[in-house]
Structure 1
Amino acid sequence: MPDLGNLSDGHPQLECRVALVSNDRDLSSSWVNALNATAAQHENPFGLRFEAVATAALEKHLCSEDRLQALIIDAGCSPDELKDAELLADRMHELRAQLNVFLVAQDSFLDGHGGAPASVRQRFDELFDRREGNFNHMFRLVQAFIARRASTPFADTLKEYVFSARDAWHTPGHSGGDSLRNSPWVGDFYRFMGEHVFNTDLSVSVQVLDSLLEPHSVIQEAQDLAAQAFGAEQTFFLTNGTSTANKVVIQQILGGGGKIIVDQACHKSVHHAVVMNRCEPVYLKSTLHPQFGIYGPVSRADIELALDEHPDAGLLVITSCTYDGLRYDLKPIIESAHERGVKVLIDEAWYAHGYFHTQLRPTALECGADYVTQSTHKMLSAFSQASMIHVQDPDFDEYRFRENLNMYASTSPQYMMIASLDVARKQMVMEGFGRLRHCLQMVETLRREVDATGVFRALTREDLIPPALENDNIRLDPTKVTIDVSGSGYSGKEIQVKLFDQYGIQVEKTTYNTVSVLVTLGSTESKLLRLVHALKQLARNPRRRSHISASRRLPELTRLTCLPADAYFADTEELPLMDNGVAAEKKLVGRTCADEIVPYPPGIPVLVPGQEISTQIVQFLQQLLQGQNATEIHGLIFRSDEPMLRVVCQSEKSSGKGGKAER
């Protein structure tokens, strides 16, 4: 369980560096000495230590010093030097956006009303006069800003409430675990899960813990800190995943209907939202890399064409990065959408870490997205299902948004999840840069060792980008490592099983000739050593075989005969998918599918509600279900083990109910 304590409790390992950036050696020397002397005389729970850094050396220092938490930038004695200080602050933000930044200036820089210019107020947390003599005050002020960033208002309140040991006469029924603790039947479950799993599972009756659906105190404070941490105007916590986050945003923009431009390979929650909100989808075809069976982003040209052909669209939805780590050059795409009045939602479920390391930026928010959904649990330290929605829509209607959120969110949220969001945010703003730098170093080692086997190969960005996307400036998130296993003679699934059964290693995903692993904040040198050892052992005994089955290309998208919502809620009948093959095909071709049919892998719908069924689609699904390596297909109905497709009744189709969705 994450540490719910506040940094101000004091930990011996804490050491926070504060860099005084100045080309005035006399000032920097005297100030650093005075501030370090002050730190030695006062309570210093964060281990603040001040150091002088020349302007020319700052960038290198920012990229190498993990313990750096704040900068004090000396603006010198002239207006030109102030402009240089502002540019320096901007560059610092590009490299380490989480750091606190203070300005050393003179009162001659104040505006005519006695205040600092707006450009200064926007860039710097606080202003110090170059003639400052009260170093006690300066030290406390720097410490206070760092303490604010390091605070976890909700997690701390939860911890304090639990330790106050209140008697519970409210839900949940286990009453802090008392119903299980001494049970001869289920007491083992209590001991396995641990005390705090139960005593932090509380009720909305506990008012001191605020309300997730209508926050006013500690949850709102935690959300405000998250917005600042991730670069959003506003941030909202969710305890039922990014699936819900996507549905909330789509309902916010298109509730009741409207046209949505969306990647065919988007998460199933987006397809569900299309049905739930009676949206008219314009599907964008993902690009297949045929050698590895990996579906990548949509080409920029296709996105631009869809925006041109559908000027009445209300929302563009893009997934960046993809499951395999491919991410768009978002800025020109978002600008094109905004020029046409189209709002943009970026599903960043796999990219919550992006803002916290220079190599991984810019993020969707930095590129101008109106809404960004993130699975904080996927790559950061939050519990599963803990997610966030980040907002910077200039037309944002907060009241309506809260109502939309309330329609999907549980009125009994899991407080451990909320606390984990608070703690995950704190970790990233205090040590995210250093932790991610360590992750990237591990990635380099993993890639080098995989390639050294001579059998397995860590795929590069160039390997993963299909020819159609070569000029789209697609980037790769290095924390997703895809390994080509073709040289071993085994399929990706077979290598996955061997890693699990023989070496106790569980990978993230597979295709017919790849396995993928995630390098996260929780990756360790020991785990890396064991993975490398396992791959080297497997590489010693490759299997010879002339053919490894290739991935099947998804059939072409067919037209929509009606809105997905009309098909899903229509009167339907079930028709067999197999039924001696040809007979089933004859009955199904030309009919309208009522469900979303999704083979795993790759997890991209072959059919969505309202889509016309083609011969190619029927044959494709039949092939997936045949043979020894039958593919898992979501959306099929099984009657006595026979797969069935739910289709719209002919009478419904002929009645003209609903409308057509353009492509």
Structure 2
Amino acid sequence: MNDSPIVRSGHSIAEYYSAVQVRTDRWSDLRETAQRISRERSDIRRSDLVAKAVALLDSLEPIEIYWAFPGAEGFTVLRDLLHRGRYDDFAFGTRRISRALQSGAYRRRTIPLHEESQDDDSEPDSLEARAHAKPYFEVLIVDLLTAAQEHALHRSLDDMRRHEDPFVYRAVVVPSLEDALIAVMFNHNIQSVVVRHGFDLRSRNELKVLKRYLSEVGEIQIDDIPMQDLGPALCRMISRVRPELDLFLVTDRSVEDIAGRDLGSCRRVFYNQEDFNELHLNILRGVAARYETPFFSALKAYSRQPTGVFHALPISRGKSITRSHWIQDMGEFYGANIFHAETSATSGGLDSLLEPHGPIKKAQELATRAFGSKKTVFATNGTSTCNKIVVQALVRPGDIILVDRDCHKSHHYGMVLAGAHVVYLDSYPLQPYSMYGAVPLKEIKRRLLELKRAGKLDRVRMLLLTNCTFDGIVYNVERVMEECLAIKPDLVFLWDEAWFAFARFGPTYRQRTAMYCADLLRDRFRDPDYRARCAAQAKTLKDADDETLLATRLLPDPDRTRVRVYATQSTHKTLTSLRQGSMIHIHDQNFRGEVEEAFHEAYMTHTSTSPNYQIIASLDVGRRQVELEGFEFVQKQIEAAMAMRRSISTNPLLCKYFKVLTVADLIPSEYRESGIKSYFDPEHGWNDAWDAWAQDEFTLDASRITLAVGATGFDGDTFKNKTLMDRFGIQVNKTSRNTVLFMTNIGTTRSSVAYLIEVLVEVAREIDDQIEDASPTERKVFERRVRSLNEDLPPLPDFSRFHEAFRARDGSDTPEGDLREAFFLAYDDGNCEHLSLDDGSLDAAMESGREVVSTAFIIPYPPGFPILVPGQVISAEILRFMRALDVKEIHGYRPELGLRVFTEEALKKLLSRRSAAGKRKAAG
């Protein structure tokens, strides 16, 4: 069946980004049509409505085969009611299904489809009822069965259910390998897959919006798979896109033939399995392993225990609140449980974050599994602390670190604490939008080769990059690490994934995460074919110059390379966790032998001895959520963002004043090998992003929408605060001079998107009215303001350089600088003075030929990156950029005093001391 032309709100199926949205809208459409049929008294009009209902059922049928509810039986009931003219019953049944799908009620109880039922679905289930219901999931069974065989299979599984089972599940049966792949990508209820023998290869379903899911599996040559390897091959494919699912293989081949094969994440192999009880128990056990929350469960149990509190927490058990006459409102606001769960790490009964041995240790081990790391640790002080822990654990004084200058300020302060010598890397500029992109790979390789020529490669310790950036630019993590390791085989990578924790749970996104790529490279370096290619390249590139190396995709020597990768994630930013809940993920081959003790000490240095147990519990629960429904929530998050893109890009009124920045706007063409320019084009519809995510140097996180607002006459900060926040209660994090960034997350709903579109339409109409009523002079003022926001933009400054006093002492011209020395030199006020941007003193100093050097980090917020760091020479370009800033918050700068800079005398003294020390060293 081809895509149906049935329209809801003007949308054909081909216009939808997601089949999930098609399904939701089709059922809503069918419900409305059924209600109209039951009320209609004209036979002619009713006949037209019945025809529409039949067409809607036809369009839903190829979609519903992948879901257990309403299932083939429910679908048959609806068709039968419509065919027999029982229109009231048809309307009732359709309404029940539609409501149950929207509310999820089918997960908690049986949904009767006949009007004589006494069950009332008019009110949604309470939060308490939902919390106490047994969790529901679906099991995918891949097998080619007759209708009778399928019915018998369902009955056999139903017979296995027991009242004491902790979960409830229903089965979905599909007949082919392609259908299985579509099902696991489409049906987020699936938690287990049973691959039986005898299924087909190709799907008979021709619905394009469903076939699109196959592209997310990657390139597969189905016809080349030997028949005896179909089951294991399907297991491997499903493991690649949904590694969290439990897989069970049923085979009619001997165990010896299956043993030793790569079965992906297959939990168990059954030989000619007919004992459904064993399968049933394994299915429940697999889901239970992911459902487990060791620390949250321990904390709940602790809160119910009677205790006598004789430690330093008056708020524990809520005693200091319940006895109070003045703060009862706090207890009423938060409820009792949060205080019952408060205790001290030293009081016993739970576990210590600093020395975990019980439920916290187990919770971290489960997070290790969920996020694909070799070791994961929790943090309750945010990712700022995580960054400092990793840097301090790995970096020694004098080590050279390559750092993205636009990274979070915690990294810069971490470098100060560690005594690192920093090489700042410049990202490509996006001048029209007053923001930066990301650091090109050639820039990174050029710096590494420069340090290698200077004989300093042994001092290079770490490459630190932000993935993805605040604006959604995502690195090709695999390629960056591969090529850098070809130059520096033991290079440590720290990927700041503060805004990217959700990426692990989307198949397209996962391939650009640090832990996934670390594992990928480890496997690749074991491959004999890779070793042969590497050896051949080594011969070709022997004695090659730097330009050749920069132009070649380099392959690291597997015998010399060590995969050493760290990722810090703000779980609270993109997944479910209380504020400051974060994680550090580690995949470091040298961790046990070289880093473990230092990491432990760094963790002790920066972690509170009184961590918040509620944050730890939320990290535990957040991990459970992403293992069981992360795929669903991330899928819906992306769908919401895509719907927003489409709505703004196709609305003529909004297009006058707003523009959704596309992939081409944010990533220059030289970094887009796939050629993709946008995710949605009003003329051609949706573009498949898989190729871009698989091969391009940079891609764009679709969950972020950067909206250019310069045409409204508002700068980004004013539009954010005065319009979105003050008038409409819409909160956003980041702006630039002429853009506002909207970030969807796993909590974003279609209603939220609809409200935002309504707000933007209202703002656009108001601007239209103001321009229409404006005088010629007022129009000129408006046009001048728009021009200043869109055209008269200050050029973005690159990192200038460190002053000679803070540069290398070996006479080389490599760019690293000693942040620590500059930072602490400024602690003595006698070494510093203030020069004003307003009275001309700073300009006069620079015009006289003086090298003016910053004593501090100067960080405009937004955008939040330092435009000056301690020891950096202030350039004319940086001053022009500072003067053009219209943000109110600039960390490290006091307008009433001016810029704090080093005195000329302080720099001369430092240079003199260094020169004398150098002479003594040479003489000694």
**TM value normalised by structure 1:** 0.90
The SS at the match of 2:588 is coil
Listed as ranges, the matches of 1:214-613 within 5 Å are 214-311=355-452, 312=457, 313-339=460-486, 340-341=488-489, 342-362=491-511, 363-368=513-518, 370-397=565-592, 398-451=596-649, 452=651, 453-454=654-655, 455-466=657-668, 469-471=671-673, 472-496=696-720, 497-542=722-767, 544-548=782-786, 549-550=788-789, 551-560=793-802, 561=804, 562=806, 563-570=818-825, 571-572=828-829, 573-578=831-836, 581-587=839-845, 589-613=850-874
| Paired positions, count | 641
Residue equivalent to 2:262: 119
The SS at the match of 1:205 is coil
Contact 1:637/1:646 (8 A) holds in 2: no
Q: Deviations over 1:36-90 (max 9, x none)?
A: 233434533321223322223111111111100011223579x955533232222
Structure 2 CA distance for partners of 1:507 and 1:163, relative to 1, 3 Å: same
Listed as ranges, the matches of 1:54-203 within 5 Å are 54=175, 55-74=177-196, 80-81=226-227, 83-105=229-251, 108-110=254-256, 116-117=259-260, 119-120=262-263, 123-130=265-272, 132-203=273-344
Cα distance in 1 for residues equivalent to 2:197 and 2:424: 52
Cα distance in 2 for residues equivalent to 1:109 and 1:237: 41
The amino acid that maps onto 1:647 is F
Cα distance in 1 for residues equivalent to 2:865 and 2:510: 27
Residue equivalent to 1:633: 890
Residue equivalent to 1:4: none
Pairwise CA distance, 1:574? 3.0
The SS at the match of 2:349 is helix
The SS at the match of 1:156 is helix
Aligned with 2:166 (options 37, 45, 48):
45
Cα distance in 1 for residues equivalent to 2:854 and 2:899: 11
Cα distance in 1 for residues equivalent to 2:757 and 2:582: 32
The amino acid that maps onto 2:270 is F
Q: Deviations over 1:180-214 (max 9, x none)?
A: 23423333233233323333232102433211112
Relative to its length, the structure with more helix (as a share) is 2
Contact 1:10/1:45 (8 A) holds in 2: no
Contact 1:22/1:28 (8 A) holds in 2: no
Structure 2 CA distance for partners of 1:612 and 1:487, relative to 1, 3 Å: closer
Pairwise CA distance, 1:602? 1.8
Cα distance in 2 for residues equivalent to 1:579 and 1:328: 37
Residue equivalent to 1:643: 898
The amino acid that maps onto 2:140 is A
Cα distance in 1 for residues equivalent to 2:500 and 2:283: 31
Cα distance in 2 for residues equivalent to 1:400 and 1:30: 60
Structure 2 CA distance for partners of 1:297 and 1:370, relative to 1, 3 Å: same
More displaced 10-residue stretch of structure 1: 595-604 or 648-657: 648-657
Greater than 6 Å deviation, 4+ residue runs: 7-10, 24-28
The amino acid that maps onto 1:85 is G
Contact 1:264/1:605 (8 A) holds in 2: yes
Contact 1:70/1:100 (8 A) holds in 2: yes
Q: Deviations over 1:322-354 (max 9, x none)?
A: 101110111111111222221211111101001
Q: Whose Rg is larger?
A: 2
Pairwise CA distance, 1:136? 1.7
Pairwise CA distance, 1:11? 4.7
Pairwise CA distance, 1:457? 2.2
The SS at the match of 1:148 is helix
The amino acid that maps onto 1:536 is V
The SS at the match of 1:208 is coil
The SS at the match of 1:209 is coil
Structure 2 CA distance for partners of 1:8 and 1:622, relative to 1, 3 Å: closer
Cα distance in 2 for residues equivalent to 1:325 and 1:541: 30
Cα distance in 2 for residues equivalent to 1:399 and 1:439: 40
Structure 2 CA distance for partners of 1:21 and 1:466, relative to 1, 3 Å: same
Cα distance in 2 for residues equivalent to 1:241 and 1:63: 32
Residue equivalent to 2:215: none
Q: Deviations over 1:93-150 (max 9, x none)?
A: 2221211112223572338xxx942634x632122221x3432222112101110111
Contact 2:393/2:601 (8 A) holds in 1: no
Cα distance in 2 for residues equivalent to 1:553 and 1:104: 63
Cα distance in 1 for residues equivalent to 2:159 and 2:610: 48
Structure 2 CA distance for partners of 1:310 and 1:529, relative to 1, 3 Å: same
Cα distance in 1 for residues equivalent to 2:798 and 2:599: 36
Contact 2:136/2:168 (8 A) holds in 1: yes
The SS at the match of 1:602 is coil
Q: Is 1:655 paired with 2:918?
A: no
Cα distance in 2 for residues equivalent to 1:324 and 1:580: 32
Contact 1:246/1:269 (8 A) holds in 2: yes
Cα distance in 2 for residues equivalent to 1:261 and 1:276: 16
Ranges in structure 1 where 5+ consecutive residues have no aligned partner: 1-6
The SS at the match of 1:138 is helix
The amino acid that maps onto 1:45 is P
**TM value normalised by structure 2:** 0.65
Structure 2 CA distance for partners of 1:579 and 1:292, relative to 1, 3 Å: closer
Cα distance in 2 for residues equivalent to 1:194 and 1:30: 49
Cα distance in 1 for residues equivalent to 2:839 and 2:668: 34
Pairwise CA distance, 1:28? 7.4
Ranges in structure 2 where 5+ consecutive residues have no aligned partner: 1-127, 200-224, 519-563, 674-695, 772-781, 807-817, 919-924
The amino acid that maps onto 2:856 is D
Pairwise CA distance, 1:307? 2.5
Relative to its length, the structure with more strand (as a share) is 1
Greater RCO between the two (CA within 8 Å, min separation 6)?
A: 1
Cα distance in 1 for residues equivalent to 2:607 and 2:741: 32
Listed as ranges, the matches of 1:611-626 within 5 Å are 611-622=872-883, 624=885
The SS at the match of 2:705 is strand
Contact 1:35/1:139 (8 A) holds in 2: no
Cα distance in 2 for residues equivalent to 1:601 and 1:44: 52
Cα distance in 2 for residues equivalent to 1:425 and 1:161: 21
Pairwise CA distance, 1:385? 0.7
